[in-house]
């Protein structure tokens, strides 16, 4: 037992076990094992270690390890059934998840984006960077009505990239614009990420939706400002079309007609939440119906589109719920080893100033974003951070309406930080999807170069939200004030 006492000198055995748990998870991750499988595998491994190695020897190692909390047997695992049922199945808030996925996929098929592209292209034809602006605006409008990013990036890429190449846009700007605008969908409500966050942090989904609206629009505004300014500084990177069509009243009308349907959808979904007419779950159902109606109106609907959207919804729900189930079990096993408290103490002990602690968490999430995607980060890291935020006692104005304003603020901060995780190589959802639709001649180098300014802008947006927490709590307070 001298080895144990040797290791016990540095950290107690619980801490070693938690450390090993994360290390073995990361090793498996790098080997390309699906995240959900790796999570459940690591958890099972540590259950086995617990039951067959630690528990029988608890008389010898009891002074080094907090064995009362780790003693376990098969019967204790039965508790996971209730956790699984309560957290994942009997969860009316999460009903919104597949509905928003369905809505986003359906909207991408509905042809509204193509219509907007056609008309807005003409409207901004005489403006430097007009095409990039068009793509950006479509991205923002789609963002406000969908919650899935993969499909949006593919759609914008297939639509916008060839057009921009034809006009001799610089490739980094073109790819960066598409990746960044497609990514906004996950921040601007309704978004499935916010649905999952509200579940993990036990805060109101309505608060989170309303809270994310301003930060999302700020980010969109920064992108637009950047494109306009960049077009003025470096006109060569965004040349004008050869013979732009004149902007007439007819063009304006066409833009209006193209933009109106998605705007109505936004009004339907966000408006019904804002005015308290419907819960977010009900709004998700209405939104799905609205998107279907748009597809029918644009004559894009047939049996194949409908079944494909359904099946793709099933598939997307499947890999999200896979990590849900796995992370739920992982948290269960982590708790057997006291891992939640250990991590809470490590994070809390990192800095004295609560704002520095939050910066520290955000920095870690930013770094994890290079490797992981939002699903893993929100499902594994967020529940561990909740007790930290609650005990930090950061004063955020809730106007007496928003409950747990500091948690809402923190969730939005993480949501903005996670925007970078889509764009940062080597693993980024947006990059992955964009790569798939790139025309020949566009290399990974162009894409990587293109996202740098947008990641900077995202960090700037993060700083703004960090400095002015009221941005996230004012709107929910107005919406639910009376």
Site for other proteins in 40-79 (CB under 8 A): 40-41, 43-44, 75, 77-78
Residue 310 vs 367, nearer CB to other proteins: 310
Residue 167 vs 298, nearer CB to other proteins: 298
User: At which residue do the structure tokens 């589109």 appear?
Assistant: 305
Residue 39 vs 184, nearer CB to other proteins: 39
What DSSP state is assigned to residue 233?
H
According to CB under 8 A, which one of 17, 18, 21, 35 is a site residue for other proteins? 35
If binding is defined by CB under 8 A, does position 439 make contact with other proteins? no
- Cβ neighbors of 117 (< 8 A, separation 6 or more) are 134, 135, 138, 159, 160, 163
If binding is defined by CB under 8 A, does position 445 make contact with other proteins? no
Residue 378 vs 406, nearer CB to other proteins: 378
Give the residue among 389, 466, 123, 321 at the shortest CA–CA distance from 381.
389
| CA distances, 249 to each of 10, 128, 246, 327, 390 (Å) | 75, 21, 10, 55, 55
If binding is defined by CB under 8 A, does position 313 make contact with other proteins? yes
Long-range contacts of 276-280 (CB under 8 A, 24+ apart): 276/479, 276/480, 279/205, 279/206, 280/93, 280/96, 280/190, 280/195, 280/205, 280/206, 280/209
| CA distances, 100 to each of 185, 285, 344 (Å) | 11, 8, 33
If binding is defined by CB under 8 A, does position 18 make contact with other proteins? no
Shortest separation between residue 80's beta carbon and other proteins, angstroms:
6
Shortest separation between residue 427's beta carbon and other proteins, angstroms:
5
Residue 28 vs 430, nearer CB to other proteins: 28
Residues within window 272-291 making contact with other proteins, judged by CB under 8 A: 278, 281-282, 284-286, 288-289
Euclidean distance between CA atoms 392 and 406, whole angstroms: 9
The H or E element spanning position 60 is helix 58-61
If binding is defined by CB under 8 A, does position 8 make contact with other proteins? no
Size of the site for other proteins (CB under 8 A): 89
Shortest separation between residue 267's beta carbon and other proteins, angstroms:
15
Phi, psi (5° rounding) for residue 471? Answer: -55, -30
Say if CB 137 and CB 182 are below 8 A apart. no
Residue 207 vs 373, nearer CB to other proteins: 373
Residue 239 vs 322, nearer CB to other proteins: 322
Euclidean distance between CA atoms 438 and 432, whole angstroms: 10
According to CB under 8 A, which one of 309, 365, 380, 465 is a site residue for other proteins? 309
Calculated CA dihedral for residues 59, 64, 68, 72, nearest 10 degrees: -70
If binding is defined by CB under 8 A, does position 300 make contact with other proteins? yes
Shortest separation between residue 285's beta carbon and other proteins, angstroms:
3
Shortest separation between residue 256's beta carbon and other proteins, angstroms:
10
Give the residue among 204, 213, 216, 335 at the shortest CA–CA distance from 281.
204
Shortest separation between residue 63's beta carbon and other proteins, angstroms:
27
The H or E element spanning position 152 is helix 149-166
Residue 232 vs 257, nearer CB to other proteins: 257
If binding is defined by CB under 8 A, does position 259 make contact with other proteins? no
Shortest separation between residue 299's beta carbon and other proteins, angstroms:
6
Euclidean distance between CA atoms 464 and 467, whole angstroms: 5
Say if CB 135 and CB 177 are below 8 A apart. yes
Shortest separation between residue 412's beta carbon and other proteins, angstroms:
24
According to CB under 8 A, which one of 315, 345, 391, 443 is a site residue for other proteins? 315
User: At which residue do the structure tokens 């597809």 appear?
Assistant: 295
Burial class of residue 435 in the structure, from the number of CB atoms within 10 Å of its CB (0-12 exposed, 13-18 middle, 19+ buried): middle
Calculated CA dihedral for residues 455, 459, 461, 465, nearest 10 degrees: 150
Residues within window 208-227 making contact with other proteins, judged by CB under 8 A: none
Shortest separation between residue 213's beta carbon and other proteins, angstroms:
22
Residues within window 319-378 making contact with other proteins, judged by CB under 8 A: 319, 321-323, 325-326, 329, 371-373, 375-376
Phi, psi (5° rounding) for residue 71? Answer: -60, 125
According to CB under 8 A, which one of 4, 33, 49, 392 is a site residue for other proteins? 33
Residue 51 vs 401, nearer CB to other proteins: 51
Residues within window 406-435 making contact with other proteins, judged by CB under 8 A: 426-427
Residue 234 vs 335, nearer CB to other proteins: 335
Residues within window 131-160 making contact with other proteins, judged by CB under 8 A: 151, 154-155, 158-159
If binding is defined by CB under 8 A, does position 308 make contact with other proteins? yes
Give the residue among 366, 361, 375, 364 at the shortest CA–CA distance from 423.
366
If binding is defined by CB under 8 A, does position 312 make contact with other proteins? yes
What DSSP state is assigned to residue 363?
H
Residues within window 79-118 making contact with other proteins, judged by CB under 8 A: 80-82, 84-85, 88-92, 94-95, 97-99, 102, 105, 108-109, 111, 114-115, 117-118
């Amino acid at each position: 037992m001298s080895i144990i006492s040797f290791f016990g000198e540095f950290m107690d055995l619980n801490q070693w076990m938690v450390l090993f748990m994360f290390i073995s998870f990361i090793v498996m991750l790098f080997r390309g094992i699906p995240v959900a499988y790796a999570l459940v595998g690591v958890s099972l491994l540590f259950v086995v270690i617990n039951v067959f190695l630690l528990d029988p020897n608890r008389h010898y190692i009891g002074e080094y390890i907090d064995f009362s909390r780790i003693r376990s047997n098969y019967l204790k695992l039965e508790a996971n059934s209730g956790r699984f049922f309560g957290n994942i199945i009997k969860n009316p808030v999460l009903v919104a998840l597949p509905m928003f996925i369905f809505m986003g996929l359906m909207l991408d098929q509905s042809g509204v984006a193509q219509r907007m592209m056609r008309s807005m292209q003409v409207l901004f034809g005489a403006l430097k960077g007009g095409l990039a602006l068009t793509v950006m605006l479509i991205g923002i409008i789609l963002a406000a009505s969908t919650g899935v990013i993969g499909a949006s990036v593919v759609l914008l890429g297939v639509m916008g990239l060839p057009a921009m190449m034809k006009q001799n846009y610089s490739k980094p700007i073109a790819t960066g614009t598409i990746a960044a605008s497609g990514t906004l969908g996950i921040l601007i409500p309704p978004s499935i990420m916010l649905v999952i966050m509200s579940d993990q942090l036990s805060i109101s989904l309505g608060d989170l939706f309303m809270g994310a609206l301003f930060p999302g629009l700020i980010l969109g505004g920064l992108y637009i400002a950047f494109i306009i300014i960049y077009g003025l500084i470096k006109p060569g990177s965004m040349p004008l079309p050869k013979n732009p069509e004149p902007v007439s009243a007819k063009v304006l009308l066409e833009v209006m007609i193209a933009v109106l349907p998605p705007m109505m959808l936004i009004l339907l979904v966000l408006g019904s939440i804002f005015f308290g007419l419907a819960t977010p779950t009900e709004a998700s159902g209405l939104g799905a119906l609205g998107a279907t109606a748009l597809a029918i109106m644009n004559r894009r609907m047939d049996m194949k589109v409908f079944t494909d959207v359904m099946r793709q919804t099933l598939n997307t729900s499947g890999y999200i719920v896979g990590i849900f189930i796995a992370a739920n079990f992982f948290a269960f096993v982590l708790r057997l080893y006291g891992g939640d408290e250990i991590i809470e103490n490590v994070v809390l002990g990192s800095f004295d100033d609560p704002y520095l602690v939050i910066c520290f968490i955000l920095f870690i999430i930013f770094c994890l974003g290079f490797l992981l995607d939002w699903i893993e980060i929100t499902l594994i890291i967020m529940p561990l951070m909740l007790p930290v935020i609650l005990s930090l006692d950061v004063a955020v104005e809730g106007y007496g309406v928003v409950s747990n304003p500091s948690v809402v603020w923190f969730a939005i901060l993480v949501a903005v930080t996670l925007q970078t995780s889509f764009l940062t190589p080597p693993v980024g959802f947006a990059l992955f999807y964009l790569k798939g639709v790139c025309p020949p001649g566009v290399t990974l180098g162009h894409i990587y170069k293109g996202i740098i300014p947008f990641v900077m802008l995202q960090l700037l947006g993060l700083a703004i939200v960090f400095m002015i927490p009221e941005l996230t709590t004012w709107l929910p307070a107005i919406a639910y004030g009376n």
